[in-house]
Structure 1
Amino acid sequence: MASFTHCFLLFFTCVLCFRNAFPVLGFRSDFVLFPVVKDAATLQYVARISHGTPLRRTDLVVDLGGSFLWMDCDSGQKSSSNRLIPSCSVNCSRAKFNDPGSKSCLLNTNCNVFPNNVVTGLASVGELVEDIVAVDSVDALKVGEITTVDYFIFSCVPTFHLQGLASGAKGMVGLGKTSISLPSQLSASIGHPHKFSLCLSSSNGVLLTGSGETLFGSKLTRSLTYTPLVIKQDDYSIHVQSIKINGRRLGLGKLEAKLSTTVPYAMMESSIYATFSKAYVEAAASMNMTRVATVAPFGFCFSYKGVRNSKHGPLVPEIDLVLQSKMVKWRIQGRHSMVKVSQESICLGVLDGGMEQSSPIVIGGLQMEDNLLEFDLQSSMLGFSSSLLFKETTCSSSLQDFKLKQFM
């Protein structure tokens, strides 16, 4: 009997050790949120994350298709809880899962990865590390619970790797489907659903992992339209069956549209753009819109004089991305399709991406603003609300309504 009791206590102690190695919050967390602001100079979306010992806040550019989080670990105060990950370790193998050519390891060496700065196209060698990350956890009863997630994996990069990022940003936070992306790690550590939501704004937006129902309300989250996600090398794309402008279908075949938080405006491959822009200009002319001199980087600009306004922006031709059926469409109009460049001019926020653009269509930040997007990685589905302006709300006001100003 004593031997049995001794074995039971030993087993119970091992279970406790195991739980410490893979920490889970002490209460059910509906979601974890990070405030996101738009940088006016670069038009990049910047999330704020607290990490290390002592805790410090770090601004990171949001990269929707990024494989993992990477940052400059040398600037500022060093974290005493930052630990290098060995080359011959499970976590190193996890980080290199999508890179078969680099799975070999050397004993007594550190794990190196190759973080990609998608803004400049620069790739460099970074050391894989683990550290504490503090998260603002919210459940249905509590607001602003602060907890820490140990053993969070990311990469440290040299300072020059920050070129092209928003002023003050110290790296990028990747939201791809890899096992060490931010959503994947928090889902595994906290135990909430393997999904994340973006609600971007021209001012204050939010990135959250887990369920967004508590923040945005069941009426909005249950009204989302869903379409299958196409995931290629961590990029998120959707199938587009056709494009319509003011209800008129363009002579284009089936296409793919990639979603990107690092591209400020929608972009199309040149041959697609030629067909699209011709039809758009014709639709604009039928609405008595007058073309004016272009302003870089835009290809088509119009006089603002005589253009009526509504709650969703200027009344201009409607763009519909028709998805898996005629009833499922992503509508782009008003403030999501036009950029006001002066008091007299507005420009079409869809650009010519050139002949070498890898994806036929890229949906940029402007088109995703004030549009609640839910990326369900378990079912590979994208939920989208279309413009929240039609629902007389915005991403920023949703945060304010929930009294989450302390996160902004």
Structure 2
Amino acid sequence: MSIWKDAKTSLHTLEGYYLIDLDAPFTWRDCVMGNANVACGLEEGCRFPLECDTSFCLEAYSYINPKCPPLNITAKYGCKICAVTPLNPISKSCKLSKLTTDLMRFLGTDGHNPSTSVKYPKDAFGMKFVISCAPSSLLRSLPKDASGVAAFSWSNLAFPRQLQTLVHDMEDKFALCLPSSSKAPGVTFLGDGPFYFTSFPNIDLRSILSYTPMLRKHIPLPSLKTGSVKLSTVIPYTKLRSDIFKAFVSSFSIATKRIPRLKSVQPFSLCLKSSAVGSVEKGFRVPKIDLETEGGKNWTISGDNSMKRVGNGTACLAFVDGGLRMKDAIVNGTFQLENNFLFLDLGNQKLGLALLY
């Protein structure tokens, strides 16, 4: 499936319609719930609620956000509905809604090109995926054409794991490649490879990945004794806890001391003269940043993923101070993830990384 970057918000959407969220427990969209007395089906855009005693509902209840509205409508509806609270990860708002199903179709691939025929499913209408409907007011702050949020988390209700359950020969894995431009799409693959890109036509990307262990929600780094590292597709720039941020910026400042400084531009603190660090065509010539993962492997962040052009001849170090009370020591944002191939092997709990330029 294609991934598109919204030029205004810098957020990434699946097929241009669903914001990709690595934390969301279930997918939600702006849709209409039907009345059991009305004759309509999913193919007509009409959906009916799932009941509260289903395994899907019990899974959704394991992710209840305490900051969202209480699920106190069962007295009115009984067990005929599964009340949930879909969350907008950008505005941090949530609404009371109901769990339901929607029809989805997927294209297969041989690793080189998309299939010309639909592989999954083989029936005419599609596979039923569990989602939540939500009111259109919950779409505020999302990209203009977005109609909801696509869950790519560990939850069994997330897109990859639901498909893995429905298609029994599919591995519990998925890959993401977020585009850095709004003019050309990136891509996501659900399941295992092989993966061949035009820039590496003869190489299965799985063979060049650097792997690190992955735990639910966090990727541990041994050097961070009091925190953890997390990937996020809903914040634009990597956030560092204040003590880490200060040490990092200080080191980067020393390494670039010969490059002229310019006035800082919010939300960044260190900005340089862009003409002194490279051109648009050749990228930025600044020190590379290595994140050492467990096992001694490095995730290298190049200049194109560390420096942001902000206009007026200025380029800024695209990392921000997240304060001292961050739950995670580091939260990697989309700017640092773009043009990287991320292979999330949920079954074996490991993350594979490769830079695609």
Higher mean displacement: 358-367 or 304-313: 304-313
Aligned to 1:118: 89
Q: Distance in 2 between matches of 1:309 and 1:383?
A: 30
Q: What is the TM-score normalised by the length of structure 2?
A: 0.84
Task: Tell me the secondary structure at the aligned position of residue 122 of structure 1.
Answer: coil
| 1:214-253 to 2 correspondences below 5 Å | 214-216=195-197, 218-231=203-216, 235=217, 237-242=218-223, 253=225
Of 171, 192, 211, the residue aligned with 1:193 is: 171
Offset of 1:361 from its aligned partner? 0.4
**110, 115, 128: which one pairs with 1:143?**
115
Flag the structure with larger Rg.
1
Alpha-carbon displacement from aligned partner over 1:249-269 (angstroms, at most 9, x marks no partner)? xxx756421100111111101
Counterpart of 1:117 in 2: which secondary structure? coil
Which residue is equivalent to 1:18? Answer: none
Match of 1:84 among 36, 44, 49: 49
Partner residue, 1:388: 356
For the Cα contact (< 8 Å) 1:128–1:156, is it kept in 2?
A: yes
Query: 5+ unaligned residues in a row in structure 1: which ranges?
Result: 1-33, 49-57, 243-251, 390-408
| Contact 1:93-1:103 within 8 A present in 2 as well | no
Q: Which amino acid aligns with 1:222?
A: S
Question: Equivalent residue of 1:222, what SS?
Answer: helix
- Shift of the alpha carbon at 1:37? 0.6
Correspondence for 1:249 = none
SS of the counterpart of 2:115? coil
Pair 1:169–1:310, CA change in 2 (3 A): closer
Residues 359 and 144 of structure 1, relative CA distance in 2, 3 Å threshold: farther
Question: Which of 242, 262, 282 is equivalent to 1:292?
Answer: 262
Separation of aligned partners in 2, 1:142 and 1:122: 37
2:306 is aligned, of 337, 347, 357, to 337
1:329-373: CA deviations, max 9, x gaps?
111121010001125110001111122221110111111111100
| TM-score, L = length of structure 1 | 0.74
Tell me which residue corresponds to 1:168: 145
| Contact kept? 2:110, 2:194, Cα under 8 Å | no
Which secondary structure state, in structure 2, belongs to the residue aligned with residue 201 of structure 1?
A: coil
Amino acid at match of 1:175: F
- Contact 1:81–1:131 (CA<8 Å) still a contact in 2? no
Letter in structure 1 aligned against 2:208: S
Moved more, 104-113 or 298-307: 104-113
Q: Which runs of 5+ in 2 are unaligned?
A: 34-41
Query: Normalized per residue, which structure has more helix?
Result: 1
**Distance across 2 between alignment mates of 1:183 and 1:103:** 30
Counterpart of 1:317 in 2: which secondary structure? Answer: coil
Aligned to 1:127: 98
SS of the equivalent of 1:366 reads: helix
Which residue number in structure 2 is paired with residue 154 of structure 1?
131
Closer/same/farther in 2, CA of residues 342 and 188 from structure 1, 3 Å limit: same
1:312/1:185 CA distance change after superposition, 3 Å: farther
Write the deviation string for residues 211-233 of structure 1: whole angstroms up to 9, x where unpaired: 231444653221111101121xx
Equivalences, count: 329
Percent identical residues: 29
Structure 1 residue 70 corresponds to structure 2 residue 28? yes
| 1:325 pairs with one of 295, 302, 307 | 295
The residue type paired with residue 180 of structure 2 is S
CA deviations 1:55-79 (Å, max 9, x no partner) are xxx701100111111011049x983
What is the aligned-residue RMSD (CA, Å)? 2.7
